Structure 1
Amino acid sequence: MYYNAPLLYEQAYSITINNAEAPLYYFFDYDERSYNINMEFQHFHQFYEVHILLDGKASHIIEGDYYALQPYDIVFLRPALLHKTEYPVGAPRKRLIINFAIPADTPCLGGMLRQALAPFDAEVPIYRLGDAERASAFGYLNDIFTLGKQPRTPLTELAIHSKFVEFLCAVAQACPRNTYVPQEFDDSITHKIYSITSYIHSNYAQELSLDYISKKFFISPYYLSHQFKSVTGFTLINYIQMTRVRNAQQLLLYTDMKIADITAHCGFTSFSQFNRVFNKFCHTSPSLFRLNGSAGITPANNYIQLPAESREA
């Protein structure tokens, strides 16, 4: 079944070119998502991601910042950015997810490709386009939808790549006229809690504690502890630890930094503490997590699993 314009849609339809480890990679995923499969905590990829909500409402949390979404908002997520989508209780929401990788160091084209990818580096990488600009940008995605129905050949794959680059260029050219504005919360405490989560993501390497944060944000420790769990679903200490573990995972997978250096860089006071907290959420040690990744195996516990006793705390 096709979804009404401006963006073609067919549930459970997908288009794949190469795999996530290839220098050039595409995965267009047309499907539905609902509240009961929301991720517990923010995750990251080594590739770029574009998220387009097609109906209803949803929200995105990017590095601890909260962003409300309406249909046809375009979320641009660069590699290694911590993020998650939250879908509300109710009917599933249609959405298009595009995962991709493009070698931006291509001779002669590198500078131009970096310009096309510039929207991913915006402070707020969410785009709400006017009708004409949205129709132009989505026209290229609709062409890709149609090309994906054709017999797969090198030429159709090249055409898909070409159309997607045109889509990126259309959004990049429309950036100065982006009308997306982050939502103002109705209650001040929710606003303050998301200010705290954003602060944690920017300062996870520092010494953080309930007492320190309560003083910095002028809120009592008891009230902060209660409201933080109510808004985010996590205790403050678990949130700090998970943010540190997520950043440690990135360094373990994508750098040659020594584990002892990662320990200090991510705010852990000792290797024993790092090892204990990492095992708590990932059910493996940092060294085994890196070993699996360097062997070309996606670590089974790349997604943090919050222990049941921590969820109930």
Structure 2
Amino acid sequence: MLESDLLYEQEYSIRINTPADPLFYYFDYDQRSHDINMEFQHDHDFYEIHILLDSSATHIIEGNVHALQQYDIVLLAPYRLHMTQYPAGLPHKRLIINFNMPRNIPGLETAYNEMLQPFNEEVPICRFTGGLRSAVFEPLNAIFTCSRSASPLNPVLIHSLFQQFLCTLSQQNDKNAYVLEEIGNAIMQKIYSVTAHIHSHYSSELSLDSISRQFYISPYYLSHQFRTVTGFTLTEYIQMTRVRKAQQLLLHTRQRISDIAGQCGFNSFSQFNRSFNKQSGMSPSAFRKAQGTSGGGSPLSSY
């Protein structure tokens, strides 16, 4: 094993608490293939880190396409829309880390904000090489090693080591070697620019004609290419984005459902109900009741 490698065991996982708890960790060591690529961007109410362990992949963050190389680190703040696409061929190893941690500890607020600052970068992807990469990964390897024992101290050790990992990322952020690369052809780039626009303007009036004018594409061409690239019609994608936003508001606020409908871009409450039922399999009120308002959710690291 090379010095800079991350320790790995397929289908191994480490869990401390649940996403509903103030302190939560889930480390998922597994592999994914092109056959189970995600269909749609998603978000969640906890932090996520994606580390590609071999070959290459594509990560889409709020509609923007990013090429990944081996050992690239993707840092996703809560509610940041994203999805990973793996190329055809053999499955690709990756480590997904979902986590929450208290940030209002007296005396540590400023330090915690600094520690988590890399998650707020416009392009939140880190690439390190050589000895620097080894130093960044050292705490993660220590977490893997200590998790193999049954010590009652493990949760404290893992929490401490993970904070060390985050601090190292923050301290070395100025040495980040990741560079943006053009991915795919021009029309693929254009379509993902359209998806980014939808995610940023879902509460506004959106239509095939208005988006065609915005991006200087004929409505027919946009309609055809959008479905080819994303697998959805433009209208389906807009409605899915709005429903996902509504789901988050239902989970994490006590706003009236009718207010949420308007805030998410639906022209009428009946339209909102139809779209929500179609995608969620239940009404907005039933969804809120079933999920509760604590925002626990479940890790989405299966992708």
* TM over 0.5, shorter chain: yes
2:90 aligned with 1:91, yes or no?
Answer: yes
TM-score by length of 2: 0.94
Question: Cα 1:4–1:41, aligned 2, differ >3 Å: closer, same or farther?
Answer: farther
Q: How does 1:190-229 map to 2 (within 5 A)?
A: 190-229=188-227
CA distance in 1, matches of 2:143, 2:261: 44
Query: Who is 1:187 aligned against?
Result: 185
CA distance in 1, matches of 2:67, 2:228: 18
Query: Who is 1:254 aligned against?
Result: 252
2:280 aligned with 1:282, yes or no?
Answer: yes
Q: CA deviation at 1:255?
A: 0.9
Name the aligned partner's letter for residue 87 of structure 2: P
Name the aligned partner's letter for residue 287 of structure 1: S
Q: CA deviation at 1:50?
A: 0.6
Name the aligned partner's letter for residue 197 of structure 1: T
SS at structure 1 position matched to 2:13: strand
Query: Who is 2:137 aligned against?
Result: 138
1:56-86 Cα deviation digits (max 9, x unpaired): 1111112111111111000111112221111
Query: Who is 1:309 aligned against?
Result: none
Larger deviation: 35-44 or 120-129? 35-44
Q: CA deviation at 1:30?
A: 0.6
CA distance in 2, matches of 1:281, 1:298: 20
2:161 aligned with 1:163, yes or no?
Answer: yes
Query: Who is 1:235 aligned against?
Result: 233
Q: CA deviation at 1:132?
A: 2.4
Conservation of the 8 A alpha-carbon contact between 1:251 and 1:257: yes
1:3-24 Cα deviation digits (max 9, x unpaired): 9852111111111111221111
CA distance in 2, matches of 1:12, 1:245: 32
Q: CA deviation at 1:196?
A: 0.9
Aligned length in residues: 299
Larger deviation: 121-130 or 200-209? 121-130
Identical counterparts, % of pairs: 55
Q: How does 1:265-304 map to 2 (within 5 A)?
A: 265-294=263-292
Name the aligned partner's letter for residue 67 of structure 2: A
Larger deviation: 136-145 or 77-86? 77-86
CA distance in 2, matches of 1:118, 1:292: 34
SS at structure 2 position matched to 1:198: helix
CA distance in 1, matches of 2:159, 2:297: 29
CA distance in 1, matches of 2:280, 2:100: 26
Q: How does 1:74-113 map to 2 (within 5 A)?
A: 74-113=73-112
Question: Cα 1:160–1:234, aligned 2, differ >3 Å: closer, same or farther?
Answer: same
Conservation of the 8 A alpha-carbon contact between 2:23 and 2:101: yes
CA distance in 2, matches of 1:206, 1:235: 18
Conservation of the 8 A alpha-carbon contact between 1:74 and 1:126: yes
CA distance in 2, matches of 1:185, 1:72: 19
Q: CA RMSD in A?
A: 1.9
Query: Who is 1:22 aligned against?
Result: 21
Q: CA deviation at 1:182?
A: 2.5
Q: CA deviation at 1:183?
A: 2.1
1:186-209 Cα deviation digits (max 9, x unpaired): 522111111111111111111000
Find 1:264's aligned residue among 262, 269, 274. 262
SS at structure 2 position matched to 1:193: helix
Larger deviation: 88-97 or 175-184? 175-184
Q: CA deviation at 1:282?
A: 1.1
Conservation of the 8 A alpha-carbon contact between 1:289 and 1:299: no
Name the aligned partner's letter for residue 62 of structure 1: I
